[in-house]
Structure 1
Amino acid sequence: MSAPVGKTPEQWEGAGVRLRAFVRADETDLVAAFADAAITTWNPGPPEGPTAFVAERNDWSTGTHASWAVAAPAPGGEPGRLLGSVSLHKIDLTQGDAEIGYWVAPWARGRGVGAAAAAAAAAYGFARLGLHRVHLFHAVENHASCAVATRAGFLLEGTLRQSFRYPDGHRHDEHLHARLVTDPLSR
């Protein structure tokens, strides 16, 4: 039996990353992250601004998403600097599946943060929510996201033709990747 999603973020540790609630101190970094073309090309920015983004991501009360700020583990209970974001969304406890999305701040790229965060969020979904499958979509042109998915153990399952309209207004082909609870932790 699966556990329901709580009302607020549950902290979760992964390999070199901490998934935690967004804090007010993250708002400056959120503004910088959503000014970065590598993020905004594939992710719409928060239309209401960082304060609303933080409130929405920290409100798990609908049970349809589990969203976290990604940070490095910090001593003494400090939150640590924002390195990115990861979310399980479209959570369906009846079917035992969810979609995952992520982005990595420019100052944290090239260190495996995205793959560690995606693997940690999937592990949370399997362990705490009883999920069987976690999947993701990314534009075929988004090579960085493809590399993150692959390093996090999400197998490429196929290509969906013109499946999603991105912020550029065009429909892009997307790759579908997935991990099952039965998949090995690393490849």
Structure 2
Amino acid sequence: MTISDTATDQRHFRPAVVDLGDVQLRPWGRALDLTGGTVAAVIAAAVDPEIARWNPLLDATDPAGAEAYLDRSDARWAEGSTASFAITDTADGTLCGNVALLWTDQADGVAMVGYWLLRAARGRGLATRATTAVTRWGVRTAGLRRIELYHDVDNQASCHVATRAGFPYEGTLRASYRHGDGPYTNEHLHARLATDPEVGLG
């Protein structure tokens, strides 16, 4: 893995490209140029049933909403508050998915990680590899101390990703998350510390 970043201020996320060989983690935003169009790729993700079920992209199902999603990504990168990466295929520049870090207690070095994959990219271990890589990047460049990962108790695929990426299960959070205007659901909490042994990228 090679990492090129533009700045390494502690406790701030700065735009970077994380190269995993067959895929790259590239910052979301207006400057991102994806094969087939970045706005179209955001819309395709937003209307994917599995992504909509577990990781709704709010109002990004039309061009205006997708552009607003990219603008929010740029703003959060500028603030250093969220590091949102498009997982892209190195060979053809298409979108595979997303992985992101979000500060939950910046002063204490605590962040959460989340991810989603488009249907064509599933089953290849990309979510595990991207989660492992972005966590490692965050520890090294932004001083992460603890990284938390939450998922709906019914999302077994996400649970497997967490385990493979080295995030031990720490407990069940009752009625902790609400999908849209539906009922509150239970979540599993997984977490890893910066001092935990590193996991291979596969």
User: TM-score scaled by structure 1?
Assistant: 0.87
Which letter does structure 1 place at the counterpart of 2:88? A
1:4 aligned onto 2:21: no
Q: Where do 5+ consecutive residues of structure 1 fail to align? A: none
Distance (whole Å) between structure 2 residues aligned to residue 179 and residue 164 of structure 1: 21
Distance (whole Å) between structure 2 residues aligned to residue 136 and residue 40 of structure 1: 18
2:87 to 70, 85, 89: 70
SS in 1 for 2:108: coil
Following TM superposition, by how much is the alpha carbon of 1:19 offset from its aligned partner in structure 2, in angstroms? 0.9
Report the count of equivalent residues: 181
Match in the other structure for 1:121: 134
Q: What's the CA shift string for 1:104-149, capped at 9, x where partnerless?
A: 1111000011111111110111010011111111100011111111
Distance (whole Å) between structure 2 residues aligned to residue 16 and residue 130 of structure 1: 27
Match in the other structure for 1:44: 56
SS in 1 for 2:57: coil
Distance (whole Å) between structure 2 residues aligned to residue 161 and residue 90 of structure 1: 22
**Superposition CA RMSD, Å:** 2.0
Which letter does structure 2 place at the counterpart of 1:143? Q
Q: What's the CA shift string for 1:133-187, capped at 9, x where partnerless?
A: 1111110001111111111111111111111111361111100011111112228
Which letter does structure 2 place at the counterpart of 1:105? L
Following TM superposition, by how much is the alpha carbon of 1:3 offset from its aligned partner in structure 2, in angstroms? 4.9
Match in the other structure for 1:103: 116
Match in the other structure for 1:61: 78
Which letter does structure 1 place at the counterpart of 2:186? D
Within a 5 Å distance, the mapping from 1:1-187 to structure 2 comes to: 2-6=10-14, 9-14=15-20, 16-22=22-28, 23-24=32-33, 25-47=37-59, 49-59=65-75, 60-74=77-91, 80-167=93-180, 169-186=182-199
User: How many percent identity over aligned positions?
Assistant: 41
Q: What's the CA shift string for 1:63-85, capped at 9, x where partnerless?
A: 211111011334xxx7x211101
Distance (whole Å) between structure 1 residues aligned to residue 163 and residue 23 of structure 2: 18
Which letter does structure 1 place at the counterpart of 2:43? V
* Contact kept in structure 2, 1:115 and 1:148, CA below 8 Å: yes
Which letter does structure 2 place at the counterpart of 1:10? A
Distance (whole Å) between structure 1 residues aligned to residue 20 and residue 147 of structure 2: 16
* Contact kept in structure 1, 2:132 and 2:199, CA below 8 Å: no
User: TM-score scaled by structure 2?
Assistant: 0.81
Deviates more, 1:50-59 or 1:177-186: 50-59
Distance (whole Å) between structure 1 residues aligned to residue 147 and residue 22 of structure 2: 21
* Contact kept in structure 2, 1:43 and 1:167, CA below 8 Å: no
- After superposing on structure 2, the runs of 4+ consecutive aligned residues of structure 1 that deviate more than 6 Å are none
